[in-house]
Chains A and B, each alone.
Chain A
């Protein structure tokens, strides 16, 4: 009987090993194809951006980009808006998602429907609605960046909600909150010490998505007349040839740099950074 079991075991372990070879090849193939899909346009843009001076490869387009003071001001503005949007979005959506999970699980369907609206309603419709509603008293907010941030929160709502929702589902929220309460913790302690640290990864991905949406956003910024990075890039693309390509590469690197910085920041906030996974 022991012999039989050993045989079965070796057969089981042999199975996957035999098929692992071809499967591995396939997964590498797909990975390479996927990477090419993303990298080829990026590389093409990069090489194009180096051809600012005729006949030689040079960084002259980049020099132009960095010389333009507009570049820094618009990027900084969009960065600020992104940070505000992330803060406002998370502050609004995390407690809501927790509430839905714990108290009104049936409201989930409703929230998921809301989360689809930004995909169904084009930003141009949203922004005209905002302008109509908030351009005269009692809500004369058109000149305030708060309205822009509010619009961005709407646009990023689906991404933030889904990320937070997935994070909450990965932990056993109900039992963890009950455990914290039975140990004497109030809602505040439970929220900051138990819930937030355990959905950190989900919050980060929500923040990244929001960040990339806001930094490149065009419609809202143009219609509300803000000097944001999206409109600046659009303007450059209309008027110049090589600089927009350089700008695209720079903005790509800046976005990734900012995301890396946020990740580092959140690690140092989360303490010793010894816990990295939110999924259990």
Chain B
């Protein structure tokens, strides 16, 4: 039985449909990400769960209890906001203890719990700082501790890292995940950053135009994208136009060069299809058997630190492939003819 359930959830803003009959079950202790571009309905859905927006229709159940008519301050839902939303007039301690104080807890208990929370976010020394005396990363840690202090049933995070710089973002997302696992708290994490969603989630809900485009584990979403949208949204992706040669044998042609897919292809020979290939599945050809090969002209070499991205021009298609950086790597010169190889399983056909 799902811990958080969204049943036929709909939200209209005037004529605009922000969330369109959404159904979703989230298990206890699970971290689920809502991933999508701006205006896909992910934040609206989160705000409905928090109680800041009321659904046009549909139900929201938390632990078998319908919460649609419960005001936000009685839902037992902790929330972390994009811009921290710490109370500027209170210290870190007072911010963290706010929910407990409002809940009428005795001050000894509040003190104990606040200490626990400060330890959890590794900020024991900084409890007496005011928000304006803290860095963005520290503020967001305090915000997380504040949301968790009163032991909410569900933790909601609304793009918690998007106001921070890249290094802190990676660091803090690891901490959030570790804390979430440690406490076993059911968590919904809204983000537009696919890397963040892939690295932090148990499951990802990819959303588009208020609908769920695909629901699955990061592994499934990345390796078996259900739609072209998901495939292009998650990770970088080659999209090549190919012609079906033998549907039953699963052979295709890209710019006249034959390649084989792992499975039979639907549709007649001669039909145009979109072939997607992950750049990390492609390597500079070493002639191993069973591999597909495509030969083209090297048009660019992009150094990305730990990896080097090569861009090949194959007829009207552009194919990029990633190789690990290695000081002994002898890269072909731009303009050279280069052959790329990839296994049949790497071929993902999209409609």
- Do these two chains interact? yes
Q: Does A259 contact B (CB under 8 A)?
A: no
Task: Give the CA-CA distance A171 to B85 in the complex, in Å.
Answer: 10
Q: Does A182 contact B (CB under 8 A)?
A: yes
Chain B contacts for A277, CB-based, 8 A: 88, 132
Q: Contacts A178-B79, A198-B87, A198-B89: A186 and B73 contacting too (C-beta < 8 A)?
A: yes
Q: Contacts A184-B102, A275-B130: A179 and B85 contacting too (C-beta < 8 A)?
A: yes
| CB < 8 Å neighbour of B73 from A172, A184, A194, A197 | A184
Task: Give the CA-CA distance A197 to B81 in the complex, in Å.
Answer: 21
Asked if residues A280 and B132 are in contact (CB atoms below 8 Å), the reply is yes
Q: Does A265 contact B (CB under 8 A)?
A: no
Number of inter-chain CB pairs below 8 Å: 76
Asked if residues A275 and B50 are in contact (CB atoms below 8 Å), the reply is no
A246 to chain B, nearest CB (A): 43
Q: Contacts A275-B130, A280-B132: A182 and B87 contacting too (C-beta < 8 A)?
A: no
Q: Does A113 contact B (CB under 8 A)?
A: no
Q: Which of A147-197 contact B (CB under 8 A)?
A: 171-172, 175-176, 178-186, 189, 193-194, 197
The residue among A172, A182, A277, A278 with the most chain B CB atoms within 10 A of its own CB is A182
Chain B contacts for A179, CB-based, 8 A: 79, 81, 85-87, 146
Chain A contacts for B78, CB-based, 8 A: 182-183
Q: Does A274 contact B (CB under 8 A)?
A: yes
Closest residue on chain B to residue A186 by CB atoms: B73
A155 to chain B, nearest CB (A): 31
Asked if residues A182 and B88 are in contact (CB atoms below 8 Å), the reply is no
Chain A contacts for B131, CB-based, 8 A: 280
- Main secondary structure on A side of the interface with B: helix
Q: Which of B97-147 contact A (CB under 8 A)?
A: 98-99, 102-103, 130-132, 146-147
Closest residue on chain A to residue B78 by CB atoms: A182
Task: Give the CA-CA distance A185 to B71 in the complex, in Å.
Answer: 11
Map CB proximity to A onto B55-95 as digits: 1 under 8 Å, 0 otherwise: 00000000000000001111101110101011111000000
Task: Give the CA-CA distance A182 to B86 in the complex, in Å.
Answer: 12
B89 to chain A, nearest CB (A): 4
Q: Which of B162-183 contact A (CB under 8 A)?
A: none
Chain A contacts for B103, CB-based, 8 A: 184
Asked if residues B74 and A182 are in contact (CB atoms below 8 Å), the reply is no
| CB < 8 Å neighbour of B150 from A181, A184, A194 | A184
Task: Give the CA-CA distance A182 to B130 in the complex, in Å.
Answer: 21
Asked if residues A275 and B88 are in contact (CB atoms below 8 Å), the reply is yes
Residues of B within 8 A of A (CB): 50-52, 71-75, 77-79, 81, 83, 85-89, 98-99, 102-103, 130-132, 146-147, 150, 156
Q: Which 10 A-B pairs have the closest CB atoms?
A: A183-B99, A197-B89, A179-B85, A182-B79, A175-B85, A181-B72, A181-B73, A184-B102, A185-B102, A275-B89
